[in-house]
Structure 1
């Protein structure tokens, strides 16, 4: 005799998972409300757009790092590429007297070539990702200082050979870092939004992106299924290098000089944004929207602490606490028992 059974309803998502999915958004909203309550000026549009402008470069670099991570890699050279781009843009205009269009083309091409070199070291030579990009990071950090003898580049400066530079920054170049759309939205924020939108579409809505994630999940299986895994990994580093150069161009156009210390914290901030992004929507993988939200999260936190006169030397500690907390909540609390 057969026993009658009633069909079971599909299991509903567990509450803890739903909490983790939106926890970072809720925490971001609570931070904004808290800072607004303590310091009403925090919520002013000028300050909010200032936060977005401050994190735009970090978010752009973080998107590049996330793409390499999706393809089972890691780019440690993005900070040095951005810093070298600041110096290269300044040198091109101040010393070689190039205009804005020529300078931007040259610097973006430089970033793509550095990314290509990283990719060839990793894919063709077989150097591990971390070691190859670490070597590039140190190489660029030293190389950018040689043409000027370790000094920042400004109009009228004297080069190591005793000659005075003849050029200056092209005013058209400064538009990218200093102008605002409709006198409200900084153009660097517009650039960040466009980069995020294009990268999101690439990674989440195209076969290209699916192959990237397939390589990150299991490169051997992706190769056996017919995907050109080496070409995809190579392209990931080219994209990362190009985006890092774009970030450097934004920094150069904002400060208006070739500052040798311009990219000191960009690597750590970009990596932090990428890793915090793992916790966004409980994805537990690198993704573009999570990286941008992670950059904004850190930017809101640091801006609020600054407005509350918190000591500057506590900022890195706070970023570390936030990063540890986000990753612990993502991987630790979500671990199956």
Structure 2
């Protein structure tokens, strides 16, 4: 005769494999969602143990200041990825904006309040041109933005005959530029609020919050992702994919110009070599963002975390005196690992 206790034991035994499977699934989901944060925490602990000064508040703020431009440009890349595109011109737009801001003040004698809107407008125009090439002329986004990258890389050298811009610049016509950087402009890249939080970090936070609200909490944001997911269905639903794509590329280039303004305000000169690594670092931040919280899609929060992730990694390697020529390899390896962890653990067995 079977007792109630025997039946209970039998049911418990029968449920056990299912419980184990559920627990493993839950653990896997947690690891996928938290992988980047776990790796970031491990790096912070490891670098702090190796170099206690790493965890100093001034060094942490230095890291945030260093990644602010990459985070802003990466946020722009994220918006273009959301609509199914890609902007290869952001590094060139940022570099051209550095030169434009310097030229405006050194040669044209403009102040900060005229220079900043002018440079931001320049970035918006470049984004509009990209959108015209991609949306109206139907040039593939990679080709259009690659062509714009080469165009801007050459154009920024023309006004000064390839020279960097600083006080006393000799112009191609032989005249001497007598302007100087506006001190108010330099505060954007050099001033720290309460002596602790750099202005560039505050600007990055403002951009992150604004874009997060736009992309995650508004109808426009939902339509941006819908355009990237299924453009035809979005168009049939009544949304203008032309306007949405145009908006995405204008935002991307305008943010790239903002990044250029921050660089110019930080270094205090128009360096022709500025912006060399910005494209790859920004793309890396945006791609690492796919792994944050296991969203597996472009997202601004993930991009900011990705930028901080890369900044912490590079700062820690520098403090440990790692050879500079290994840093790109390590960044690539970490990116591959983060994406493999996110997508690989998410695959179901065939």
The TM-score, its normalising length taken from structure 2, stands at 0.92
Q: 1:134 aligns with which of 141, 146, 158?
A: 146
Partner of 1:173: helix, strand, or coil? helix
Matched, 1:183 2:195: yes
**Residue of structure 2 equivalent to 1:3:** none
Deviation at 1:260, TM superposition (A): 0.6
Deviations 1:128-173 (A, max 9, x none): 1100000000000000011111110000121121110021111110
**Residue of structure 2 equivalent to 1:223:** 235
**Residue of structure 1 equivalent to 2:333:** 321
Deviation at 1:26, TM superposition (A): 1.0
Q: 1:302 aligns with which of 290, 295, 314?
A: 314
Deviation at 1:336, TM superposition (A): 2.1
Partner of 1:168: helix, strand, or coil? coil
C-alpha distance in 2, partners of 1:194/1:162? 43
Cα RMSD after superposing both structures: 1.2
Partner of 2:185: helix, strand, or coil? coil
* Equivalent pairs, count: 329
C-alpha distance in 2, partners of 1:48/1:14? 33
Deviations 1:14-45 (A, max 9, x none): 32121110111011011001100010000000
Matched, 1:27 2:51: no
C-alpha distance in 2, partners of 1:253/1:112? 20
Matched, 1:52 2:64: yes
Matched, 1:90 2:102: yes
Which has the greater radius of gyration?
2
Deviation at 1:227, TM superposition (A): 1.0
Deviations 1:244-270 (A, max 9, x none): 000000000000000011100000000
Q: 2:244 aligns with which of 225, 232, 245?
A: 232
Deviations 1:28-71 (A, max 9, x none): 01100110001000000000000000000000000000000001
Q: 1:158 aligns with which of 157, 170, 176?
A: 170
Alignment of 1:186-205 (within 5 A): 186-205=198-217
The TM-score, its normalising length taken from structure 1, stands at 0.96
Q: 5+ residue gaps in structure 1?
A: 1-7
C-alpha distance in 1, partners of 2:145/2:338? 26
Q: 1:207 aligns with which of 215, 219, 229?
A: 219
C-alpha distance in 2, partners of 1:113/1:332? 40
Higher helix residue share: 2
C-alpha distance in 2, partners of 1:98/1:213? 40
Q: 2:137 aligns with which of 109, 125, 130?
A: 125
**Residue of structure 2 equivalent to 1:70:** 82
Partner of 1:42: helix, strand, or coil? helix
